[in-house]
Amino acid sequence: MKLKNKVAFVTGGTSGIGLETAKLFQAEGAHVVLVGSNEARLAAAGEELKGKALLVRADIRKVADIERAVEETRARFGHIDVVFANAGATTVAPLEAVTEEYVADNLALNFTGTFFTIQKTAPIIAQGGSIIVTTSFLNTIGYPGLSILAATKAATRSLVRTLGAELAPRGIRVNAVSPGAIATPFYSKMGLPDDVLSQVASGITEKIGLKRFGEPVELAKTVLFLASDDSSYTTGAELVVDGGLTQF
């Protein structure tokens, strides 16, 4: 097993990519710490993980919550080997609809939450540990109505390089996985009516080289690669998993 007895700290792990990754980590021998803000979804995810994961209810927009989640992890396991900073969400907002509050909320969830997740876990990450950040295909293309999300994801891509350089002396690798269009609840939370969401999905599918949305488990396998010793000489990188959406 690729993560036997490793401790894996996963944010945004109650559905989609995060949950599939947590399940795969567990199947590969890891002790999983699952962090989520919704109590009901956290409990449901815990059941899917056979009741063996440490469940921590925390809002990564609040630094105190992150600190508490890390302290609970330290108290249970003493250290962390893998961090998957995956939490993130947004709603569609064209230029004229963006408000100061909207920007602040997106920054807190999609950028500063990621930064402080790394900052607060770093002191107890073991030598040779791995940090994986979820970025987005929006790093490289422009999509109307998602300017703030794209900007925050581009910022997290930068963090992978800068914090990777800072943590390299400790042998800690920092990498990113960049999902394209993936069949997860993420899209249903963007505030679009069902008919519009269907049109958007059809339009994106036409642009994907493989002509389909990806499955969460396909992302999870890439995250496992970055978490394990299979990627022991990979750091500062962003692995794109988008079916060719940004490549062709």
The pLDDT value given to residue 189: 59
Distance (Å, rounded) from C-alpha 134 to C-alpha 149?
12
Buried b or exposed e, range 83-110, using 16+ CB within 10 angstroms? bbbbbbebbbbeeeeeeeeeeebbbbbb
> What is the percent of the chain with per-residue pLDDT over 70, rounded to a whole number?
97
Query: Which is more confident, 44 or 185?
Result: 44
The CATH topology of domain 7-183+215-240 is: Rossmann fold (3.40.50)
Query: What pLDDT, on a 0 to 100 scale, did the predictor assign at position 200?
Result: 78
Residue spans per domain, the chain:
7-183+215-240
Determine the average pLDDT of the residues in 81-100: 96
pLDDT, one tens digit per residue, over 187-239 is: 555 666 777 777 878 888 999 999 999 999 999 999 999 999 999 999 999 99
> What pLDDT score was predicted for residue 242?
96
Each residue's pLDDT tens digit, 21-45: 999 999 999 999 999 999 999 999 9
Whole-number mean pLDDT of the chain? Answer: 95
